[in-house]
Every structure is written in structure tokens, then in C-alpha cells.
Amino acid sequence: MSAQKLTFFSCDNGDASLIEAHGWVIMTDVNYRADASDEDSDTLDFAPKVRSACNDDKLDIFVLTHPDEDHLSGFGDIFHLGKPEDRDSDPDEGDVLILVDEIWCSEYSANPNYTTDKSKPVLDEIKRRKALQGTQAGNKDGNRLKVLTASSGAKNTLCNGIEWRLLAPNSSEGNIPKAKEGEPKNSSNPASLVFQWTVKIRGRESVFVLAGDSTVDIWERLNKEMTDEQLEWDVLLAPHHCSRHSLGRKAFKNGEEIFEWSDEAYAGINHPRSGKSHVVASSRKFGQKHPPHPEARDKYHKMLAQGGEVTQAVRDRFRCTAGAHGDKPKDVVFNFTASGMTLAVALASPAIGSPATSAAAGGGGYG
């Protein structure tokens, strides 16, 4: 049997996760960086691991939760952009770029209000594929596109053993207005795709939630509209790199800015399936810049405790891809087994610029 696992790659304050199950390989977001000039860099090269997981240099699905730079940077350093027939199958240097058979994205990513130097290549690729929809070419590997909008949160079947629900954004949340001239760009975070995935091994379900940079308003809405079953998880990727702003919002009281936690958003996220559930922060180390925020981490500890005491055993079920204390960054990996999701002991990826690094490593430049 091929690999059956979920990997959260260490990529600073960014997301890059890989599902390998029942012969399918699905990547959600990417924040691929290069820092080869710094010998002391903790930047890790996960491109060889993605390449090793793919069959014949082809990725089945790439899911873009939303077009923030830390969710799409470096895409073109690993994956092919443009017509599939134009891919160089025998490059003079480095490895052949991986062909993405199908891209999944939101309506906002298919029709964004603005682009940046880092987001434009991926958003142009989505635009290219969108123009082919309804044609014979649009059904070819390397051209397919699925534009998603949440409605009922119904379960969908990808294959025998893999199911998914799209919980957000709905059509209203995905409709982000364009900022007025001279004003800051409106954030795409509320349009983040929120997925609940289920992988079955010998009838045993492993359930995990990947939610991009989803905001407090999204989780308040999900708490009102979705059932416990639709929101439950064995593993949760803490939204927005363990930011407070998925669990509360800034407010003003007596003329001073304060932060108000949302009980409704907390209730929307608080759906661990058991005392073995885990939360993962795909982020930099705690104690530096925000996010990640230690107060948000405390909230996730409380969720994992399920009403009990927050012991060290509970804290150990909260994992950060940057490592803890003086640890080196490393990927966080869970295996799908007949007993459910189990935490694997993962080896660190090689640092970019090390002898083990693929010659194709170019990096996205966003840190």
C-alpha cells in the first residue's frame, strides 16, 4: 500500500500541507522559500518530499485556500505554470516541474480584486484554466479547474476512502468588494476555503480540518449553521497561523482599543473528536511576532483538554511546525491507520542550500 499520511511542511508563517491517501496526492497551499545564501538559515526544502509523493511528476489536486502570498509563494518553483504541453520534460538544470492535474479555488481566487508580483503567476494560471472550462481542452490533466462555493456543507466523495466537505466561504463571504482608490486592499482572508476531509482506512475514519486564514465571522456563522459532525476533527490546522483573529476581534471600550474573544467562534472551532486529537500551528516560533499568538494557543489547549485540566500531555498535542523552544523547524506528520490518525516522528527536511537539496529549489522569497 502507498503512503497514507498528512504532512504539514515547516514554512514559517505560511501553509503547505500534503495529503497522501488511497493513491491520491493533494496539496493545500504552498509557501516555498529560498534562503541559500544564509548558512544558518532554518528555511527547509520540502520540494523533494512533494516530488517523491507525486506519481510521474504529477500532482492530482492543488487547493488554494485564498490568494495571500504566504499561501501561494514559490508555486512556480515546484509546479508547472501554463499549458501542460509546454512543460519541459527534460530541463537542462534541475528537476522537471510537477504538473498539477486540477486546481481547486474559491470564486474570489478565480476573480480577484488585485494581484501582486507573487500572486499573479498563480492567479493567471487559474484564469487560463477558467477560460478553458466547458471545452475539451479544459478536461485534460494540467488544465482542470474546480471553482468552489459552500452551500449546505454536504459530504462529497473524491474516491473510495476519501471524502470532503466545503464549509466556507458561501457566496456572500466570497464576494469581497474592491477597495476604493487610495485605500488599503481588502483582505482575502474571509474568502478562505474551509475543508473538512475524511480518510477511511479499513472502515476507520480520520477527520481533519484545513481552514486557511478564516476569520472570526466565518467561525461564528459555522457555529450557527453547521452540525457537530460537520465541524469535528482529529487534527485541526489552527486558522491563520494560530492568530487571535480567528477567535475574536478588536473593539473599542471607553475610547481604548481592546480585544474581545468570541464565544461563538470558539464554539465553532471547538470540535475535537477525542482525547487524542491534535492542533497544528503552521507558523513561526511563538514569542516573536504575531501571529502566532500565545493567547490563541491557550484557547486551543483548552479545546484539547475537553473541559479537563490543561496538562503537559494536553500541551503536547499542540504542535508547531517551527518547533518549540530551541528546537529546529520540522514537518508535522500524521499517519492514517486502521486505528485513526497517529502522530508520526518526522525527520527534518534538509535546509535549502544543503547538499541534499534539489537543484530545482529556487524559493518564493516571501518569509
Lowest mean pLDDT among 115-119, 178-182, 269-273, 333-337: 178-182
pLDDT of amino acid 34:
73
Report the 10 Å Cβ neighbour count for 140.
14
Q: Report yes or no on 357 lying in a domain.
A: no
3-state secondary structure of 337: strand
Lowest mean pLDDT among 39-43, 63-67, 170-174, 260-264: 39-43
Report DSSP state, residue 357: S
CATH number (domain holding residue 78): 3.60.15.10
Q: Report yes or no on 351 lying in a domain.
A: no
* φ and ψ of 133, to 5 deg: -60, 140
pLDDT tens digits, 125-173: 999 999 999 999 999 999 999 999 999 899 999 999 999 999 999 999 9
Q: Report yes or no on 363 lying in a domain.
A: no
Q: Report yes or no on 297 lying in a domain.
A: yes
How far, in Å, CA of 115 to CA of 11, rounded?
22
pLDDT of amino acid 365:
24
Q: Report yes or no on 182 lying in a domain.
A: no
Element (DSSP H or E) covering residue 275: none
Report DSSP state, residue 86: G
Among 78, 119, 79, CA closest to 103: 79
Give the total number of structural domains in the chain. 1
pLDDT tens digits, 54-109: 999 999 999 999 999 999 999 999 999 999 999 999 999 889 999 999 999 999 99
Burial class (CB in 10 A: 0-12, 13-18, 19+), 129: buried
b/e burial code for range 267-296 (CB count within 10 A of at least 16 → b): ebbbbbbeeebbbbbbbbbbeeebbbbeeb
The whole domain housing 46 covers 5-177+187-344
Do the beta carbons of residue 197 and residue 162 sit within 8 Å?
A: yes
Is residue 366 very low, low, confident or very high in pLDDT (cuts 50, 70, 90)? very low
Which residues share a beta bridge with 18?
Answer: 7, 27
Report the 10 Å Cβ neighbour count for 200.
17
Q: Report yes or no on 366 lying in a domain.
A: no
Q: Report yes or no on 212 lying in a domain.
A: yes
Do the beta carbons of residue 243 and residue 291 sit within 8 Å?
A: yes
Which CB contacts under 8 angstroms, 24+ apart, belong to 255-259? none
Q: Report yes or no on 72 lying in a domain.
A: yes
